[in-house]
Structures are given as structure tokens and as C-alpha cells.
Amino acid sequence: HRPFYNSIQTCSSGLLKYALKIFSNLSSLQCEQIIQHLNHKIPGVNTVELCQRLQTSGIEVNVGDLAKITNTVSFLFSTAARNNLSTEELITALGSTVNTLPKHAIQVIRHVWNEQGKSVGVSEDKGNMSTVGQFVDIKWKLGVAMSSDTCRSLKYPYVTVALKVADSSGQITNKCFEMTVPQFKNFFRQFKEMAAVLETV
Amino acid sequence: MAAAEQQPPAVDGGKALSALLGGIAQAAYYGKVDITEELLRGQLYPEAAPEEFRALRAKMGGLLQSIASADMDLNQLEAFLTAQTKKQGGITSDQAAVIAKFWKNHRVKIHESLVNQSCWDNVLKNMNWRVDLKSQSRHVDQINTPVAIVEMELGKYGQLRGEQLVTGVGICLCKSIAHRDTSGPFF
């Protein structure tokens, strides 16, 4: 299990410890989300939403940290899967990190790996996919800018679009941008063309 | 006759004033920051004393700003300029004519510039797409699934290069975007 040990070494032990501790505090539903992402069943883990839910249940964590944690845990599980580790081997391989974790954290990792571990497939070659994320959702809003400090009579309509995109590691981010109405018409016309091409291919 | 103050002499008053308005617009609305007062004076009103020219530039700049801020239509413009010709220290009717002609020609462009200046969020600078066919995949059911790859460049107005965002879009999302309700007033 040399490759797995090496992989563990590349994660800083502090981050790994923190990650596992928080991970073990996630509900089983949330653990499942990460595993399902590894199985390519869902496009990504909604870090922002997950963070809000954790904070409501009293766990102090910010979005940036949670993103690192999701990455670390995903990485851990996928590496373990690639090396075909059993639950005990996984726990042993985590080594000293595990010793300092609270008992229930180990139980959660054990449980998750028992239940879901076998179904985690080995991920396909991400070489040419590393920069391509996945569109998850789109929302739009039409507004009219009436006035500003440089122009009393602006009166121009514009469309704000909010995209939810999952990057190749599964992190979901929100991108927001504005378009004038002609730009928006062009934008949605492009998607119409795309849909037409997708149907005929 | 309006009580107009002593105007700085110029070779061809109308042409020079028109060019002055152009210079003011370049600096204020078209982003040409290197158009200085000195440059304008030297080129358009070389006989004028600096203080006189400064006063003229300030007055014309102020008028243009009022007109641009209200995005005046022709009626509003006429009323506004007429009022200016009747004011103490206002403008001559010749100057009013030059200003009116300038605004008619530049209104759309100046308004567009003001609109862009008020846009502080990211804008979509560029968008390209292509359709790929997945030829191999871990999941058998994904083979031969076409996917659209969309590349969007998002950035702030005036920024040279924005952030590149490349995403794959499946057929479902494409269709749901393309077939949104388009019966509203803007479509």
C-alpha cells in the first residue's frame, strides 16, 4: 500500500486531521454526497449550502475550509479505492492522524467506508478534462438601472445571470454576470443553436 | 441680445467650439485621459489666455454634463439651451446651435459610455462553444452522449482579459435555457 501512504503524506497532517474531524460531524447524507460525487452520480458537492447547514447545526467552518475538506476527503477515498483498501487497512493507513481523532470520527469513517467504499470506482483519466467543469444550473433576472451618481437618467434594462458550475474536482461555485438585453438575446440564441446541434448529433 | 461675456477669440468659432466639445467628451466619456486643457487650448484657442480658456472649458463641460446626465431629447435640449442663452453669463445662440448639433451626433455614444461606467459587475466579454461526442467513458451509458462545451470570458468593463470559464452543458440544460418563456415584453 505504498502509493496510498505516499498520498497521505502529501496531505498536511493538520489539514487531514481537521478534515476528518469535520467530515465525521457531517450527517450521513452529507458523507454520501461526497461519495456520490466520486461515483460521478452528481456533478458536485454544494459547498456553500453544506457550509450553511453545518453552521446551523453549530459547527464552525467557513466555505474555504469546507472546500479544502471536501477535496481532501474525496482525494482520500478515491486513492483508497484505487488501492482496493479494506476498512481496517484504511484506518491503519491513516496512522497517527487517526489516533488523535475523537472516537466517533473513526466510527463514521469506518461506517462510510463499509457502506460506500466498494462502490467508489476508480476515476477516469482526468487529463483532458481538468479545466472543463460542468454547468449545473442557471438563473436570470431582468432589472432596470434608473439613475446613478454620474447619470441622473440612465434608464437602461439589463439581465443578470447566475451560473452554478461544478469544477472538475466537484466544487460548486457561483458565477454572476450582467448583460444588456441585446447581449442576452444573443446568449440565449446561442443556447438554442447548441440545443439544436445536440439533438441532431 | 444676451449679455454674453467676452469670448476668447478663435479662428472659426463654431468649428473650434465643436472640437472643444469633442475633446471634453473624449476625456469625460470615451476614456482618453491624455486630452489635457493645455492641449485643447493650444490646438483650438491659441490666442486665448489660460484663465479665459479654463472658464470656457468649465462652462461647456458643465453644460454637456447636464445634458448627458438627463439624457435630453430634442425638446428638453431646446428648452434647456434657450434658457441658457437668456441667462446672465450664459451662451450665445450660435454656441447653442453648435452644442445642439454636437449632442444630436453624440448622444447615443455618450449615453452608452455612461451606462458602461455604471456597470460594476462582471460582464460576458466573449462566448464560444462547440459540441463534443464522448467516445469513451467509464460509464457505458455515457458513450456517444453529445455535450456542448461552452467557453465564457467574464470580466469587468474596461478590463483587458477576463476570467475564462469552460463548462460542459448537457442537452437538458441547453433545452431548458433555450426554451424559457420568451413571451415577455423584451422578446
pLDDT in tens, B118-158: 888 899 888 888 887 765 555 455 556 778 888 888 888 77
B17-75 pLDDT, tens digit each: 999 999 999 999 988 888 888 888 888 888 889 899 999 999 999 999 999 999 999 99
pLDDT of residue A24: 66
3-state SS, one letter per residue, for B110-168: HHHHHHHHCCCCCEEEEEEEEEEECCCCCCHHHCCCEEEEEEEEEECCCCCCCEEEEEE
| Chain A residues in contact with B180 (beta carbon < 8 A) | 140, 188
Locate the chain A residue with the closest alpha carbon to B155: A177
pLDDT of residue A30: 64
Cell for A191?
443556447
CA B55 to chain centre: 25
Locate the chain B residue with the closest alpha carbon to A165: B167
CB contact under 8 A, A135 and B167: yes
pLDDT of residue A126: 40
Give the type of residue at B105.
N
| Chain A residues in contact with B182 (beta carbon < 8 A) | 188
pLDDT of residue B98: 95
CB contact under 8 A, B71 and A155: yes
Phi-psi map region of B77: left, alpha, beta (phi>0 left; psi -120 to 50 alpha): alpha
pLDDT of residue A119: 62
Average pLDDT of chain B, as a whole number: 82
Q: Which residues pair with A29 in a beta bridge?
A: none
Burial class (CB in 10 A: 0-12, 13-18, 19+), B130: exposed
Cβ-nearest to A188 among B71, B167, B178: B178
Is the complex ipTM more than 0.85? no
pLDDT of residue B111: 94
pLDDT of residue B71: 96
pLDDT of residue A145: 94
Backbone dihedral angles phi then psi of residue A165, each to the nearest 5 degrees: -125, 135
CB contact under 8 A, B122 and A145: no
Contact residues for B28 (Cβ-Cβ < 8 A; gap 6+): B61, B64, B65
Mutate to test the interface with A, among B30, B110, B117, B124 (most CBs of A within 10 A): B124
Locate the chain B residue with the closest alpha carbon to A131: B166
CB contact under 8 A, B186 and A181: yes
| Chain B residues in contact with A197 (beta carbon < 8 A) | 131, 146, 148
CB contact under 8 A, B131 and A153: no
Is B1's pLDDT higher than 50? no
Q: Does B31 contact chain A (CB < 8 Å)?
A: no
Whether this prediction's pTM lies above 0.80 is answered by no
| Chain B residues in contact with A161 (beta carbon < 8 A) | 124
Q: Show contacts of B61-64: CB within 8 Å, 24+ apart.
A: B61/B24, B61/B28, B63/B91, B63/B99, B64/B21, B64/B24, B64/B25, B64/B28, B64/B99, B64/B103
Q: How far is A201 from chain B (nearest CA, A)?
A: 7
Q: Which residue has the cell 454674453?
A: B4
pLDDT of chain A, 201 residues: tens digit per residue: 565 666 555 555 566 666 666 666 666 666 666 666 666 666 666 777 777 777 776 767 777 777 666 666 666 777 777 777 788 887 777 766 666 666 666 777 777 777 766 665 544 434 334 457 788 888 989 999 999 998 999 999 999 999 998 877 778 888 899 998 888 889 988 988 888 888 887
pLDDT of residue B74: 95
CB contact under 8 A, B69 and A151: yes
> What is the rounded average pLDDT of the residues B97-116?
94
> What is the rounded average pLDDT of the residues B88-101?
93
Tell me the C-alpha distance between A155 and B118, whole Å: 11
B164-173 pLDDT, tens digit each: 777 777 766 6
Q: Does B174 contact chain A (CB < 8 Å)?
A: yes
CB count in 10 Å sphere of residue B151? 15
Tell me the C-alpha distance between B173 and B176, whole Å: 5
Which alpha helices (H) appear in A117-157, and where do they start and end? none
Mutate to test the interface with A, among B165, B182, B183 (most CBs of A within 10 A): B165
pLDDT of residue A31: 67
Half-sphere exposure of B128 (CA within 13 A, CB side): 5
Chains A and B form CB pairs within 8 A to the count of 126
pLDDT of residue B147: 81
Q: How far is B122 from chain A (nearest CA, A)?
A: 5
Burial class (CB in 10 A: 0-12, 13-18, 19+), A62: exposed
CB contact under 8 A, B124 and A179: yes
Is B113's pLDDT higher than 80? yes
Q: Does B114 contact chain A (CB < 8 Å)?
A: yes
Is B5's pLDDT higher than 60? no
